[in-house]
Structure 1
């Protein structure tokens, strides 16, 4: 089965991630060639951000010199982006994860899993605890969550500089799949 990959988050990390993934899936028999990208739509120089991305293939707000591959389809409709996804890559600020999870969990299909590129922790005052982003995603959605983390920057990834990250997962099959998806 060819897997559909989507990216949630349109900041610098989301932009770098979508470029890397879109470049890597073009010639893959394992992953669907088109990558859906959830972009929180906002006005940017008189046009919507999704219009910039879909028509000009750039994100003028974050990493504006980076060319977005033509096999990326940006949408501000979170349901449309998530409902067909097999692998959901999350490049979102940790302070917005609770909102994001609440808005995607009802659309996630069986067998889908998350990949978190998120840095930071989530304060849960009602439980008097601090939680990892991956734990919140797992608890709120009931889905597995692979973690990709390391001493790397969005610019390094976007420019395909040599860099490395660690993939953490309780599911070895998912970890290997994510490695194949991200490796240049």
Structure 2
């Protein structure tokens, strides 16, 4: 029996995933905007978020959360982290018992510092919670370029079942039971992407970007393992893999924010001109709180935070990193 998918959120990644799952399962995608719903149903497009892309003809859209989730066998949350809980609680009365809930978000909730699967467990206890994550640029995947992702669930049998829902042609989906590590990798790498973008925007060079990526991986691994993730996870698709693509691509929202900062553009102007959320901007605040709680040294994250929220310039950040004490490569710092 084929599973039915209810996907909440019609941004670029949510729409891409919905188009992929509609090849394998009956899929309904929810959007607040009536015009978006009509466009998807009538023209099989979502031009605002996926220009020139044609969606799978079987994908159906709705502006009713109830209609989207009430018959679904799996709920996919394509909602940014700061709105995740609100939309989930709206959907809660209509979700059948024990239905798995899979997050696409790569961030942490500011008010609680919680991961999205923790929010699911708090709001809908008894529902298996997981995350679909990895080095996934929505536009490339939608246009048929090869990519790999991870479906992370504690229950391996559920992950295996859901693997067949998301796996599609050149989009290969692996399973992992380290939900904490996979989720944190996706959230923490966004700060490093802003740092790499700042470097590129300031024309600091490819050597600098390489150093930021590798030392950034060290930072996110230290904090991620301190919070319960497995070290090997951060060397895989959801850690190193996601970090490389997000730090290197102009298609990355977080890299874009950093790039514009590197050119001297004010953060407020950058954000106001973007149609989608760059999760790393808000996550940077939470990361510094978590680093302090777990007593983890995160010099790159700290410099990004100071540029975003303390009025420092990109050149202040580079100066701060250059004056940071240099130790062994295998040790913190």
TM-score range, shorter chain: 0.7 to 0.9
Residues 35, 72 of structure 1: 8 Å contact kept? yes
What does 1:139-178 correspond to in 2, within 5 Å? 139-142=122-125, 143-178=127-162
Sort the Cα spacing of 1:155 and 1:69 in 2 relative to 1 into closer, same or farther, 3 A. Answer: same
Matched, 1:11 2:2: no
C-alpha contact (below 8 Å) 1:17/1:157 kept by paired residues: no
Asked whether the equivalents of residues 16 and 138 of structure 2 are also in contact (C-alpha less than 8 Å), the reply is yes
- Number of aligned pairs? 167
Q: Distance in 1 between matches of 2:29 and 2:157?
A: 24
Q: Quote the offset at 1:117 in angstroms.
A: 1.1
Kindly indicate which of the two structures has a greater share of residues assigned to strand. 1
User: What is the CA deviation profile of residues 116-139 of structure 1, one whole-angstrom value per residue up to 9, with x for unaligned ones?
Assistant: 111100122xxxx41101110121
Is residue 146–residue 174 contact of structure 1 (8 Å, CA) maintained in 2?
no
Q: Which residue of 2 aligns with 1:181?
A: 165
Whole-angstrom distance in 2 between the partners of 1:148 and 1:104? 20
Q: Which structure 2 residue ranges, 5 or more long, are not aligned?
A: 169-333
Matches within 5 A, 1:1-184: 1-23=1-23, 25=24, 31=25, 34-42=26-34, 48-124=35-111, 129-142=112-125, 143-184=127-168
The separation in 2 between residues aligned to 1:98 and 1:183, in whole angstroms, is 27
Aligned CA-pair RMSD: 1.4
CA displacement at 1:166 relative to structure 2: 2.2
Q: Find the residue that maps to 1:147 and give its secondary structure.
A: strand
TM-score (norm 2): 0.48
* TM-score after normalising by structure 1: 0.85
Q: Which has the larger radius of gyration?
A: 2
Shift of 1:156: 2.4
TM-aligned CA deviation for residue 113 of structure 1: 1.0
Mapped partners of 1:41, 1:17: distance in 2: 18
Dislocated runs of 4+, deviation >6 Å? none
Deviation for aligned residue 1:147? 1.0
Per-residue deviation, residues 8-40 of structure 1 (Å, max 9, x unmatched): 1100001111111112x1xxxxx4xx3111111
Distance 1:2 1:163, change over 3 A: closer
Q: Deviations over 1:72-127 (max 9, x none)?
A: 11000001111111111111111110111110111110231111111100122xxx
Gaps of 5+ in 1: 26-30, 43-47
Secondary structure of the equivalent of 1:115? strand
Q: Contact between 2:77 and 2:84, CA under 8 Å: does it hold in 1?
A: no
1:167 CA displacement:
2.1
